[in-house]
C-alpha cells in the first residue's frame, strides 16, 4: 500500500518504520525529528535507517500532492493537520483514501474529521486505531500487539484497514472491531483506569506505612486474586509522562460536565501530584526541615525506564523542591542526562554525574526516582562508603529493608522501610 504518516513524534516514526518494514511504500510528512532524542527509543534508529536505505521509507518536510491509499495521523491533531494540508491531500481524498487516527484527541474526533473530508468527497473514510505502545518498548508493542482496537463505521473500509494491520496480526487474531467512538473512548478509559489503579496503590502504600505494614506483602496477596491481577500494583513516587496525564484529564473534563460527577479522576490526579512530593517530604523530615547546603544524589530522571522523556517526571518535582530549599542536587540517568542538564542549566547548585556511583561522591543521601535496570542490584558497600548519612529514599521500592540493614543503610521506601 501507499501510506503517508503525518506526525512529528515517536509514535509517527515507529509507525512509519514498521509499516515500511512489511513492504508498504511509506512517506513521512511534516517530520523534523528524525535525528533527535526520539531516536533513543530502542531499535528505532536502526529500523528507520534500514527502511530508508531500502527505498520504502522517505521523508518530506512538507506535504506534496501524491496518490495515497492510507493516511495515518498520529502525535498531532487530525483536524488541524487536515485543514493545513487539505489541498495537497485532495486527489487522495477524491480517490477514496482512508484516514487512520492513531492518537485520538477527543470522543467524536473521527466523525468530525470525516465531515470535514466530505466537503470534497464522500469516498474517503476515517478509522480510529488507538496506538497502544509504551516508550522503551514501542517497536515490540506495535509489531507484536496484545490487541488492536479497530474503530471503523464502514464495512468496506474495515477490510482495507484489516489488510494494513494484517502483518502484525498473523499468529493470533487480536483485532477487536468497534465503532470509532468506542475506539476513542476505550483509549481514554484505559488510561484513566491505569492511573486510578496506580493512585489507589499509592494510597494503600501510604496507609500501610502508617499501619506498620509492608505494602509489598499486601501487593502480593491482593495480586494473587484473579479478579485483580498483578499488573500495575506497584506503588511509587507517582506516574509521569505527557500522554497518560493528558488522557486522564480528557476523561475528567468530560465527567465534570455531568451534574452527578463525584470527581473520581480529579482525586486520582491529586493523589498523583501529592505522591510526587512524597520523596521530598521524607528527605525534608529526615534532615529536620533544614536542607540548605545538603547534597542529594538522585538516580533516575526520566519518567520511566528505557526512556529519555522527563515530561512530568517525579524526579523533576523532587529536584525543583530540593533546589527551592537551597540543597545541592546531583543526578544520574542512563538516558536523560542531557535533557535534565539543559533543564537546569542556569542553576549553580545542580549538576549531572557521568555514572551512578559518581553521583554519590560527597552526597549526603540517595533518592531513586526511576527503576532503571542498572539500579536493581548495586554495590551496597560502595553506597554505604559514599553517603555521609547512609540513607536511601527509594521511590520505586527496588530494595529490601532487611538487606540494607546488613550494610547499615537506613531505608525509606513507599509503604515499606522506616517510617518518618
CB 12 within 8 A of CB 20: no
Q: Under CATH, which architecture does the 186-273 domain have?
A: Orthogonal Bundle (1.10)
pLDDT at position 14 is 95
For residue 257, give the DSSP letter. T
Binding residue numbers for NAD(+): 135
The Cα 185–Cα 179 span in angstroms is: 10
Which residue in this structure is represented by grid cell 491481577?
Answer: 229
Binding residue numbers for substrate: 232-236, 240, 304
Q: What is the three-class DSSP state of 67?
A: coil
Bridge partner list, 25? 2
The CB-side HSE value for 196 (13 A sphere, CA atoms) comes to 15
pLDDT at position 356 is 98
pLDDT at position 314 is 97
Whether 2-178 and 277-412 share one fold: the answer is: yes
Grid cell digits, residue 22: 512489511
pLDDT at position 262 is 84
CB 25 within 8 A of CB 3: yes
Binding residue numbers: 135, 232-236, 240, 304
Long-range pairs for 47-55: beta carbons < 8 A, 24 or more residues apart:
47/14, 47/17, 47/18, 47/21, 47/139, 48/13, 48/16, 48/17, 50/21, 51/16, 51/17, 51/20, 51/21, 51/26, 54/20
CB 120 within 8 A of CB 94: yes
**pLDDT tens for each residue of the chain, 420 residues long:** 999 999 878 899 999 999 999 999 999 986 554 545 666 788 999 999 999 999 999 988 666 677 899 999 998 899 998 988 888 888 888 889 999 999 999 999 999 999 999 999 888 999 999 998 888 899 999 999 999 999 999 998 999 999 999 999 988 999 999 999 999 999 999 999 999 999 999 999 999 999 999 999 999 999 999 999 999 999 999 999 988 998 999 899 888 887 788 899 999 999 999 999 999 999 999 999 999 999 999 999 999 998 899 999 999 999 999 999 999 999 999 999 999 999 999 899 999 999 999 999 999 999 999 999 999 999 999 999 999 999 999 999 999 999 999 999 999 999 999 998
Nearest C-alpha neighbor of 321 from the set 268, 278, 351: 278
* Neighbour-count burial of 215, counting CB atoms closer than 10 A to its CB (0-12 exposed, 13-18 middle, 19+ buried): buried
> Biggest alpha carbon distance in the chain?
73
The CB-side HSE value for 207 (13 A sphere, CA atoms) comes to 9
Nearest C-alpha neighbor of 183 from the set 145, 223, 152, 226: 152
Q: For residue 261, count other CB atoms closer than 10 A to its CB.
A: 13
The Cα 420–Cα 285 span in angstroms is: 7
Strands (E), 243-342: 295-299, 328-332
CB 280 within 8 A of CB 291: no
What percentage of the chain's residues is helix, strand, coil (to nearest 5)? 45, 15, 45
CB 13 within 8 A of CB 31: yes
Q: For residue 405, count other CB atoms closer than 10 A to its CB.
A: 12
The Cα 129–Cα 133 span in angstroms is: 12
The Cα 315–Cα 334 span in angstroms is: 14
> In this structure, which topology does domain 277-412 adopt according to CATH?
Rossmann fold (3.40.50)
Domain at 2-178, CATH class = alpha beta
Q: Hey, where are the domains in the chain?
A: 2-178, 186-273, 277-412
Amino acid at each position: 500500500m501507499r501510506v503517508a504518516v503525518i506526525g512529528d513524534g515517536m509514535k509517527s516514526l515507529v509507525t512509519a518504520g514498521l509499516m515500511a518494514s512489511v513492504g508498504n511504500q511509506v512517506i513521512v510528512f511534516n517530520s523534523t525529528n528524525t535525528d533527535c532524542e526520539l531516536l533513543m527509543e530502542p531499535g528505532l534508529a536502526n529500523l528507520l535507517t534500514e527502511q530508508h536505505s531500502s527505498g520504502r521509507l522517505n521523508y518530506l518536510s512538507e506535504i506534496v500532492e501524491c496518490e495515497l491509499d492510507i493516511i495515518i495521523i498520529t502525535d498531532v491533531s487530525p483536524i488541524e493537520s487536515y485543514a493545513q494540508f487539505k489541498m495537497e491531500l485532495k486527489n487522495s481524498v477524491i480517490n477514496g483514501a482512508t484516514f487512520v487516527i492513531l492518537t485520538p484527541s477527543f470522543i467524536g474526533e473521527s466523525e468530525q474529521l470525516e465531515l470535514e473530508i466530505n466537503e470534497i468527497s464522500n469516498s474517503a473514510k476515517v478509522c480510529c486505531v488507538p496506538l497502544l505502545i509504551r516508550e522503551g518498548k514501542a517497536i515490540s508493542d506495535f509489531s507484536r500487539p496484545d490487541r488492536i482496537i479497530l474503530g471503523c463505521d464502514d464495512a468496506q473500509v474495515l477490510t482495507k484497514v484489516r489488510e494494513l494491520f494484517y502483518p502484525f496480526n498473523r499468529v493470533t487474531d487480536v483485532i477487536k472491531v468497534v465503532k470509532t467512538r468506542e475506539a476513542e473512548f476505550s483509549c481514554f478509559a484505559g488510561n484513566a483506569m491505569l492511573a486510578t489503579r496506580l493512585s489507589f496503590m499509592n494510597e494503600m502504600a501510604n496507609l500501610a506505612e502508617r499501619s506498620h505494614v509492608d505494602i509489598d506483602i499486601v501487593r502480593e496477596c491482593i495480586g494473587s486474586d484473579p479478579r485483580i491481577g498483578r499488573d500495575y500494583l506497584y506503588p511509587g513516587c507517582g506516574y509521569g509522562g505527557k500522554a497518560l496525564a493528558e488522557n486522564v484529564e480528557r476523561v475528567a473534563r468530560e465527567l465534570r460536565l455531568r451534574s452527578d460527577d463525584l470527581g473520581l479522576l480529579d482525586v486520582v490526579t491529586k493523589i498523583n501530584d501529592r505522591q510526587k512530593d512524597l520523596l521530598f517530604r521524607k528527605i525534608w523530615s529526615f534532615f529536620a526541615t533544614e536542607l540548605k547546603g545538603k547534597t542529594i544524589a538522585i538516580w533516575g530522571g526520566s519518567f520511566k525506564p528505557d526512556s529519555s522523556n522527563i515530561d512530568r517526571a517525579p524526579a523533576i518535582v523532587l529536584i525543583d523542591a530540593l533546589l527551592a530549599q537551597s540543597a545541592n542536587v546531583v543526578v544520574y540517568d542512563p538516558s536523560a542526562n542531557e535533557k535534565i542538564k539543559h533543564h537546569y542549566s542556569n542553576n549553580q547548585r545542580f549538576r549531572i554525574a557521568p555514572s551512578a556511583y559518581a553521583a554519590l561522591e560527597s552526597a549526603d543521601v540517595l533518592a531513586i526516582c526511576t527503576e532503571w535496570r542498572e539500579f536493581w542490584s548495586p554495590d551496597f558497600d560502595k553506597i554505604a562508603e559514599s553517603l555521609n548519612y547512609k540513607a536511601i529514599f527509594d521511590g520505586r521500592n527496588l530494595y529490601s529493608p532487611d538487606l540494607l540493614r546488613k550494610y547499615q543503610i537506613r531505608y525509606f521506601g513507599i509503604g515499606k522501610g522506616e517510617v518518618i
